[in-house]
Amino acid sequence: MGIVSPGFQGRPRSPAAVTLPPGQYLTEDFPVLSAGPTPRIDLTGWEFVISAENGRQQRWSWSEFLDLPAEDVTVDIHCVTKWSKLGTHWRGVSLDTLLADVDTTADYALAHSYGGYTTNLPLADLLDGQAWIAHRYDGADLAPEHGGPARLLVPHLYFWKSAKWVHGIRLLPDDEPGFWETAGYHDYGDPWREQRYQGD
């Protein structure tokens, strides 16, 4: 068995009227891709932690997280395996809210997940209404196979940057590659520039 579970078949053609990033095709499904088994997380022990480069931490339990102001967002998502899904509906807490009281001079972030997955991002890509910790999808609690109870949502980058089962974010002065980046995937992952692999 491979480390990636595809969970979908076929490559439907995109309608001519839809503008997609280069090399992408449109899907109505929500394919499931995971680098390993799906963790089952007990909400009584769930927490989200932001660790600044000075060692200070901000922590939220599940109930504290749900008490934060949440936003409903509708975004297009693009997977590095070339599928795109348009107009997806999410509810989550903006990273602007979570980082509002964090004192940092960091330029980078490393998201880490229950189960050990990591991915790196410039901190600027998590701010200014660009990223959320999402806990609902399409009007329902986020299913475990899609990253529930909560996942990072950074829709302007390839979807591997939107870490499932997110547990926290470490703020760093220097870039530190995550799981797929150390395996040869692009450090940034802009779908409109087809940044799939190192060197793209």
Token reading at 116: 């050990």
pLDDT value of position 17: 59
Token reading at 92: 């989550």
Decide if pLDDT at 194 tops 90.
yes
**How confident is the model over 163-180, as a mean pLDDT?**
97
Cis peptide before 149 (omega within 30 of 0): yes
Q: What is the pLDDT of residues 24-46, one digit of tens each?
A: 999 998 888 766 788 889 999 99
Q: What is the pLDDT of residues 109-141, one digit of tens each?
A: 999 999 999 999 999 999 999 999 999 999 999
- CATH fold of 46-193: Sulfite Oxidase; Chain A, domain 2 (3.90.420)
pLDDT value of position 31: 81
* Beta-carbon contacts of residue 164 (< 8 Å; ≥ 6 apart): 34, 113, 117, 146, 147, 151
Lowest mean pLDDT among 18-22, 73-77, 96-100, 164-168: 18-22
pLDDT value of position 10: 41
Token reading at 78: 């693009």
pLDDT value of position 35: 66
Decide if pLDDT at 11 tops 70.
no
Q: What is the pLDDT of residues 144-154, one digit of tens each?
A: 999 999 999 99
**How confident is the model over 154-167, as a mean pLDDT?**
97
Other C-beta atoms within 10 Å of 155: how many?
A: 21
